[in-house]
Structures are given as structure tokens and as C-alpha cells.
């Protein structure tokens, strides 16, 4: 935005708005840049080091490609390649949930925004309330419910609950109620479009950005979800990588001196596992940053 | 409720309503088709689990009516009050730092005129959000272990020479607050920044002409206009913070149980369900946590005005 372009040289009279004020602001910002940035930079570097190098070398000295390769081998050799299974599971759960989320929430948001039907208001209020409930609050009740229908341990026990994504419906609802010209839809109807065609041919193409946004949030949330799969999946074959990390942690002597098993994990290997566990999300984050910022502030600020 | 245009409020959707004028029968049938799957998911993973938790919380293991027994049992548990205390202490530290620092950082970033700098800063603050869940906790285990930490010097300067010294129970609430702040603050900074952009430039301009400095503008104009967003952030974070689980769970595992595995309320509920096989007790704790989250969110839906439904 251009809000800040206004510049009046003659009007700075505030107590701290001279250069001392700016210096304070710069120091504050620098501290927080370090606070937010250092752990990530360090983590990337740590995954290239040897176990000894991690302790002895300068924390910000890069390791070597050999070190990275050694850590890679050690990580993917853990438990006969369990890590590969975990990453594949994460992908299956996150993508599965993402597809169902889109099929469920985009039409629902559209219908709630542009048509009237019984229970519409009820559904809308439920959406808002459930959207504000923290993810973890319903995990144990959902476990108890799925336990009675015998779904525990199956991939569906995480995919289905993750597919329920009221925030996506809310974003779609806001988008369709504020940004789609109704006359356009009316014109399509006059031209003889059936309702389903109005949605698929007119509304859906226009809503492409919001579909991508819902997909992004759903993917990130499912990929990073810990408590739900932790509770639903008893066997380590079914773990997503986020839960798999706990198995690795349990085999790291540095944090668990009692874990003197055959399969011990060194700290740099654990660091590499952490990098791999967030890599897909990190990449998507970097590529869709601008777009995200617009989406996160959509809705509420449009009053 | 059906096709009546009940809204006179100037809301998000302040346009002419379709359907109100011409309630086409085919269209409303179509609407049911459009919402069917979502409605089914809402019932299956929103309403049913809630009802089931209520049922379990008020029955015994054999299915008989238990009255409030489950609740008195879990509240009387010697681990319950300490868990409440831990979560409450953590929430206070986290919420205060979140509200103060996020608002401050958003306002400071907003005063930057170089667009590249302001957007890079927001990206740096926002990026840790990608490392949520177990990954962020694992990363912070490294940072908090003086032998490996990138800020080991700082930790030793504070008199903390070993991992076990860092994670003594008294340090945990601030540690969890730091982890939560590190992963969560960036998203809120972006949201606050967006809200600041929405403040009319004319208002700021007028204040400048009247001689207000940056600090005065922030205090007297921006802060009051951000109030709704700040309270939104506060309530959402309060509701989310009551559910503390992954941080103490992993720390407990990494510390050889120096951190107990019933540190937070959600962990205690987990213990009831999976260690003691007492689903009714677990349901009672879950229900207490759910009621807190529901009350907070309902308060916001009703009073907030941020989410105009109709």
C-alpha cells in the first residue's frame, strides 16, 4: 500500500521521532530479525555437520557436503528406511485431506454466499464457532468417536478429520459474497446455464485464487498436524513425519541417554530430519508469500 | 429463516440478495447438494464428537449415569491443579508478550518506507510459521541445549551450562511462550500490518499536520483502531494456548522425564485415555477444555463484529 508515502519534512516534532527514535526502532527490528532468523539458518547449517563439528566448530560455520551426505544416509537408513515411509504418509494424509477439503468447502462456501436455503444461517454460525475452536480441542473426542466405529489406525482416521476445514469454507464464503458480480451469474442463468454449470464454468474459474489459498492453508495445517495423528495412529508404519520425529528423538542419545540401542541418531541427523519434516511447507511458503499475505488479511479487513 | 432477507445491518455482504426475490425451487435443492459434503463433515467431526464427549463425561465405564463423578474425579486428581497452574502461567507470559510485541513490531515495520525492507522483514518474521508442530519444538531443543546451541554463549552467560539446567520446571512456561511466539507471531504481525494499511491515510495525514509524531500517532490513532484485531488475536491465542500439548510432550521425552508427561491439561487427558484406559475421565477433561474454547470463540462471534454472518 502507499499509505506511508506521505512525507512531510517540516512536521517531525514528536519526542522520539528524530534519529534517536529511528535508531531504537532499528535496534528492536534487528533483535527480532536475529530471534526469528538465527534458529532457521543454524538448523540448515547444522544438517551439514558432523556430530563432533556441531559441538566444536563455530555454530555458523557451514559443514560439508560429505557431512550432509553422511547425515542423509544415517537418517534414511534408520529403521530400514522408516523415514521414507513417514514422509510418504505425510504426503498421503495432507494431499488426501486437501482434495476432500476442496471438494467439500468450495461449493459449500459458494452456496452459503450466493443462495438461500434452510439451515444456511445455522451452518454459517457453526462454521464460525468451529473455526475458532483450536484444532486440538476436538482430537480426543474424535478419537473416542472413531474408536467406536473401528477406524483407528486406518489412514482415514486422520484424513477425514483433517478434511473438515471450516476456515476454508469461511474464506470461500467471504470471497463469493464480496467479490463475485451477481449480475454475471444472473446473466449466465438467462443464457440457459444450469446451476451446476454456473458454478463450474463461471464462479469456479473466477475463484481460482481463493481455491489455491484454501488448498495452501489446508496443506500446511495437515502437514504440520501433530496431536491428531499422534493419537489416531498406534503403529509407526502409519506415522506422518511429524510424529516420526518423536521416534527419532527417542533414539537420540544426546537427549535420551537411556536410548543406547543399536539405532542411535546423532544430533546433526536429527537436525536434517527436522529440515526434511518442514521442507515441503517451507518451499510452498516461500513461493506463495505475497499471495498469502493478501489472503490472511482478506475478509476481516474488508468491512 | 428461509428466503427472507432479514439483514438490514451493513455487513460484509451488504448487497442485494439473490434468491430473496426469486426463490427458485431448483436452486435451493442445488444448494443442498453443494453443502452436503461439508455439512456431513461438520456433523461427523464437529457436532458428533462434542456430543459423544458430553455423553462419556457423564457416564461410567459401564455406561451408567455418573452425574458429576468424572468431573470431581479429574478435578480432585493431584495432577489436575498443577496442570492448570502450568497452563495458566504459560498463557499469561505468552499472551502479554504476544500482544505487546506483535503490536509494537507491526507498527514499527509499518513506518518503514522502503518497501523491499518492510516486506523482507515480514517474510523473516513469518517464515518460522512453516515450522509448526513437532518440528519447531525439536528445533528449540537444539537452541536450548548449551552444547549445540547457536546461542550457547548467551545461555552460559545466563548461568545455564547444560540442557537439564535450562529445562528446570520453573523455566518451562517462558520456554513454551518463546517457542509459541517464535512460530506464531509472524502470522499475527502480517495480519496487524494489513489492518494498519486499512487505516485511512487521511487520518494519519491530519494528525501529522496537527503536529503529532510517530509515537503519538501510534498511541492515539493506530492503537485504538487496532483494538478489535488485538482482542481477536488475544482470544484466539488464549483458546489455542489452553490446548498446550506438543511442546511439553516432546520436552518430556527429550529430558528423560525431568519434565513430567502430565504437565499440561491435554497431556493429562491423554494419560487418562491411554495409560489409565479411563475414557470417561479423559472425556471430562476434554469437555472442560472444549467448553473454555467454545465460550471464548462464541464470545467473539457474538460480540466481536469481526465476523458479520448476515
Cβ separation A296–B190 shorter than 8 A: yes
Torsion of Cα atoms, B250 then B255 then B259 then B261, to 10°: 50
Domain presence at residue A38? yes
Q: Residue A290's pLDDT is what?
A: 66
Domain presence at residue A3? no
- Classify the C-alpha dihedral A31-B166-B237-A287 as positive or negative: positive
Q: Residue A17's pLDDT is what?
A: 53
Cβ separation A164–B42 shorter than 8 A: yes
Does the pLDDT value for residue B83 go beyond 90? Answer: yes
Q: What percent of chain B has pLDDT over 70?
A: 88
Does the pLDDT value for residue B8 go beyond 60? Answer: no
ipTM of the complex: 0.85
Cβ separation A224–B187 shorter than 8 A: no
Closest CA–CA distance from residue B240 to any residue of chain A (Å): 5
Determine which of A156-160, A166-170, B11-15, B138-142 has the lowest per-residue pLDDT on average.
Answer: B11-15
Domain identity same for A183 and A117: yes
Give chain B's domains with CATH numbers.
Answer: 77-260 (1.10.3720.10)
Closest CA–CA distance from residue A183 to any residue of chain B (Å): 10
Domain identity same for A134 and A265: yes
Mean pLDDT of chain B: 84
Does the pLDDT value for residue B94 go beyond 90? Answer: yes
Q: Closest Cα partner for B93 from B251, B239, B250, B241?
A: B241
B310 touches chain A (CB under 8 A): yes
Does the pLDDT value for residue A54 go beyond 90? Answer: no
How many C-beta atoms surround the C-beta of residue A83 within 10 A?
Answer: 24
Does the pLDDT value for residue A7 go beyond 50? Answer: no
Q: Residue A8's pLDDT is what?
A: 46
Does the pLDDT value for residue B4 go beyond 50? Answer: no
Domain identity same for A43 and A108: no
B130 touches chain A (CB under 8 A): yes
B245 touches chain A (CB under 8 A): yes
Closest residue in chain B to residue A3, using alpha carbons only:
B201
How many C-beta atoms surround the C-beta of residue B221 within 10 A?
Answer: 16
Domain identity same for A57 and A91: no
Q: What is the CATH number of the domain that holds A255?
A: 1.10.3720.10
Domain presence at residue A2? no
End-to-end CA, chain A: 17
Rounded to 5 degrees, φ, ψ at B166 are -70, -45
Cell 439451515 -> residue: A119
Domain presence at residue A1? no
Enter the DSSP assignment of A200: I
Cβ separation A13–B213 shorter than 8 A: yes
Does the pLDDT value for residue A292 go beyond 70? Answer: no
Domain identity same for A99 and A243: yes
Domain identity same for A107 and A30: no
> How many contacts, defined by CB atoms under 8 Å, are there between A and B?
370
Enter the DSSP assignment of A298: T
Q: Residue B5's pLDDT is what?
A: 39
Q: Are B256 and A256 in contact (CB under 8 A)?
A: yes
Q: pLDDT for B254-303, tens place per residue?
A: 887 788 889 999 999 999 999 998 989 999 999 999 888 888 877 776 76
> How far is A159 from A155, CA to CA, in rounded Å?
6
How many C-beta atoms surround the C-beta of residue B78 within 10 A?
Answer: 7
Q: Residue B165's Cα: distance from chain center in Å?
A: 29
**Chain B hits for A143, Cβ within 8 Å:** 273
In sequence order, what DSSP letters do the residues of A42-62 get, joined into one string? HHHHHTTS-HHHHHHS-TTS-
Q: Residue A192's pLDDT is what?
A: 83
B246 touches chain A (CB under 8 A): yes
Task: Enumerate residues 42 to 81 of chain B having a beta carbon within 8 A of any beta carbon in chain A.
Answer: 42, 44-50, 52-53, 56
Domain identity same for A214 and A275: yes
- Classify the C-alpha dihedral B177-B180-B186-B188 as positive or negative: negative
Domain identity same for A55 and A175: no
Domain presence at residue A6? no
- Classify the C-alpha dihedral B248-B250-B253-B255 as positive or negative: negative
- In a mutational test of the A interface, the residue from B6, B20, B23, B46 whose CB has the highest number of chain A CBs within 10 Å is B46
Cβ separation B38–A13 shorter than 8 A: no
B151 touches chain A (CB under 8 A): yes
Q: Are B11 and A111 in contact (CB under 8 A)?
A: no
Does the pLDDT value for residue B86 go beyond 50? Answer: yes
Domain presence at residue A72? no
- Three-state DSSP string of chain B: CCCCCCCCCCCCCCCCCCCCCCCCHHHHHHHHHHHHHHHHHHHHHHHHHHHHHHHHHCECCCCCECCCHHHHHHHHCCCHHHHHHHHHHHHHHHHHHHHHHHHHHHHHHHCCCCHHHHHHHHHHHHHHHHCCCHHHHHHHHHHCCCCCCCCHHHHHHCCCCCHHHHCCHHHHHHHHHHHHHHHHHHHHHHHHHHHHHCCCHHHHHHHHHCCCCHHHHHHHHHHHHHHHHHHHHHHHHHHHHCCCCHHHHHHHHHCCCCCCCCCCHHHHHHHHHHCCCCHHHHHHHHHHHHHHHHHHHHHHHHHCCCCCCC
C-alpha cell recorded at residue A154:
486406518
Question: Which residue segment(s) compose the domain that A246 sits in?
Answer: 80-297
- In a mutational test of the B interface, the residue from A113, A183, A255, A276 whose CB has the highest number of chain B CBs within 10 Å is A255
Mean pLDDT of chain A: 85
Name the residue facing B134 among A113, A226, A292 (closest C-beta): A226
Rounded to 5 degrees, φ, ψ at A192 are 100, 15
A129 touches chain B (CB under 8 A): yes
> How many residues are recorded in chain A?
303
**Chain A hits for B123, Cβ within 8 Å:** 289
Q: pLDDT for B204-240, tens place per residue?
A: 889 989 888 888 888 888 888 888 888 888 888 888 8
Domain identity same for A233 and A193: yes
**Confidence (pTM):** 0.85
Cβ separation B2–A21 shorter than 8 A: no
The count of structural domains within chain A is 2
Rounded to 5 degrees, φ, ψ at B168 are -60, 145
**Chain B hits for A75, Cβ within 8 Å:** none
Q: Is A164 helix (H, G, I), strand (E, B) or coil?
A: coil
Q: Is A74 helix (H, G, I), strand (E, B) or coil?
A: helix
Q: What percent of chain B has pLDDT over 90?
A: 38
Domain identity same for A89 and A233: yes
B225 touches chain A (CB under 8 A): no
Domain presence at residue A302? no
Determine which of A155-159, A269-273, A296-300, B281-285 has the lowest per-residue pLDDT on average.
Answer: A296-300
Q: Residue A12's pLDDT is what?
A: 44
Cβ separation A277–B134 shorter than 8 A: yes
Q: Residue A44's pLDDT is what?
A: 92
Domain identity same for A129 and A211: yes
Domain presence at residue A188? yes
> How many residues are recorded in chain B?
310
Q: What integer is the mean pLDDT of B177-200? A: 89
Q: Residue A89's pLDDT is what?
A: 96
Q: pLDDT for A61-107, tens place per residue?
A: 888 899 899 999 989 988 888 999 999 999 999 999 999 999 999 99
Q: pLDDT for A234-264, tens place per residue?
A: 988 999 999 999 989 888 888 877 665 667 8
Name the residue facing B254 among A255, A293, A301 (closest C-beta): A255
Domain identity same for A145 and A278: yes
Amino acid at each position: 500500500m502507499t499509505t506511508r508515502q506521505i512525507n512531510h519534512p517540516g512536521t517531525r516534532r514528536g519526542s522520539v521521532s528524530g534519529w534517536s527514535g529511528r535508531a531504537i526502532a532499528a535496534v528492536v527490528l534487528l533483535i527480532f530479525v536475529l530471534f526469528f532468523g538465527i534458529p532457521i539458518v543454524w538448523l540448515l547449517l547444522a544438517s551439514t555437520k558432523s556430530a563432533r563439528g556441531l559441538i566444536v566448530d563455530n555454530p555458523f560455520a557451514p559443514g560439508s557436503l560429505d557431512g550432509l551426505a553422511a547425515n542423509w544416509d544415517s537418517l534414511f537408513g534408520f529403521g530400514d528406511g522408516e523415514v521414507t515411509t513417514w514422509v510418504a504418509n505425510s504426503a498421503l494424509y495432507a494431499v488426501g485431506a486437501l482434495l476432500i477439503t476442496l471438494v467439500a468447502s468450495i461449493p459449500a462456501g459458494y452456496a452459503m454466499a450466493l443462495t438461500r436455503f434452510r439451515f444456511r444461517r445455522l451452518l454459517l454460525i457453526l462454521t464460525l464457532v468451529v473455526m475458532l475452536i483450536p484444532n486440538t480441542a476436538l482430537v480426543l473426542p474424535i478419537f473416542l468417536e472413531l474408536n467406536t466405529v473401528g477406524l483407528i489406525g486406518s489412514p482415514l482416521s486422520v484424513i477425514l478429520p483433517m478434511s473438515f476445514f471450516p476456515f476454508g469454507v469461511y474464506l470461500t464464503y467471504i470471497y463469493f459474497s464480496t467479490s463475485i458480480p451477481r449480475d454475471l451469474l444472473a446473466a449466465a442463468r438467462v443464457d440457459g446455464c444450469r446451476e451446476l454449470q454456473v458454478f463450474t464454468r463461471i464462479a469456479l474459474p473466477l475463484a481460482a485464487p481463493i481455491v489455491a489459498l484454501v488448498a495452501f492453508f489446508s496443506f500446511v495445517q495437515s502437514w504440520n498436524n501433530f496431536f491428531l495423528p499422534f493419537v489416531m495412529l498406534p503403529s509407526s508404519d502409519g506415522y506422518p513425519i511429524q510424529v516420526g520425529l518423536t521416534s527419532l528423538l527417542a533414539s537420540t542419545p544426546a537427549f535420551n541417554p537411556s536410548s543406547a540401542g543399536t539405532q542411535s541418531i546423532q544430533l546433526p541427523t536429527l537436525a536434517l530430519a527436522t529440515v526434511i519434516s518442514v521442507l515441503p511447507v517451507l518451499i510452498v511458503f516461500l513461493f506463495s508469500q505475497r499471495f498469502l499475505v493478501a489472503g490472511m488479511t482478506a475478509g476481516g479487513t474488508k468491512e | 429463516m428461509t428466503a427472507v432477507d432479514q439483514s438490514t445491518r451493513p455487513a460484509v455482504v451488504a448487497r442485494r440478495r439473490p434468491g430473496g426475490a426469486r426463490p427458485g425451487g431448483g436452486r435451493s435443492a442445488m444448494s443442498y447438494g453443494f453443502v452436503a459434503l461439508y455439512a456431513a463433515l461438520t456433523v461427523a467431526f464437529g457436532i458428533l464428537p462434542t456430543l459423544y464427549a458430553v455423553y462419556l463425561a457423564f457416564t461410567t465405564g459401564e455406561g451408567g449415569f455418573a452425574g458429576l463423578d468424572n468431573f470431581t474425579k479429574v478435578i480432585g486428581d493431584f495432577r489436575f491443579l498443577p496442570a492448570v497452574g502450568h497452563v495458566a502461567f504459560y498463557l499469561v507470559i505468552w499472551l502479554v508478550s504476544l500482544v505487546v510485541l506483535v503490536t509494537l513490531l507491526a507498527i514499527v515495520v509499518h513506518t518503514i518506507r522502503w518497501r523491499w525492507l518492510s516486506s523482507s522483514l515480514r517474510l523473516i518474521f513469518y517464515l518460522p510459521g512453516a515450522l509448526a508442530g513437532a518440528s519447531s519444538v525439536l528445533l528449540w531443543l537444539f537452541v536450548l541445549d548449551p552444547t549445540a546451541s547457536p546461542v550457547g554463549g548467551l545461555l552460559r552467560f545466563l548461568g545455564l551450562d547444560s540442557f537439564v539446567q535450562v529445562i528446570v520446571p520453573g523455566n518451562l512456561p517462558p520456554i513454551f511462550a518463546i517457542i509459541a511466539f517464535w512460530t506464531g507471531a509472524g502470522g499475527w504481525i502480517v495480519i496487524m500490518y494489513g489492518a494498519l494499511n486499512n487505516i485511512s491515510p487521511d487520518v494519519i495525514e491530519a494528525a501529522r499536520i496537527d503536529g503529532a509524531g510517530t509515537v503519538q500517532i501510534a498511541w492515539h490513532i493506530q492503537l485504538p483502531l487496532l483494538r478489535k484485531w488485538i482482542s481477536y488475536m488475544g482470544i484466539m491465542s488464549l483458546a489455542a494456548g489452553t490446548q498446550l500439548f506438543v511442546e511439553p510432550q516432546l520436552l518430556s521425552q527429550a529430558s528423560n522425564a525431568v519434565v513430567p508427561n502430565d504437565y499440561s491439561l491435554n497431556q493429562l487427558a491423554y494419560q487418562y485415555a491411554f495409560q489409565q484406559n479411563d475414557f470417561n475421565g479423559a472425556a471430562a477433561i476434554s469437555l472442560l477444555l472444549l467448553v473454555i474454547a467454545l465460550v471464548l470463540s462464541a464470545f467473539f462471534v457474538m460480540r466481536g463484529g469481526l465476523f458479520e454472518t448476515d
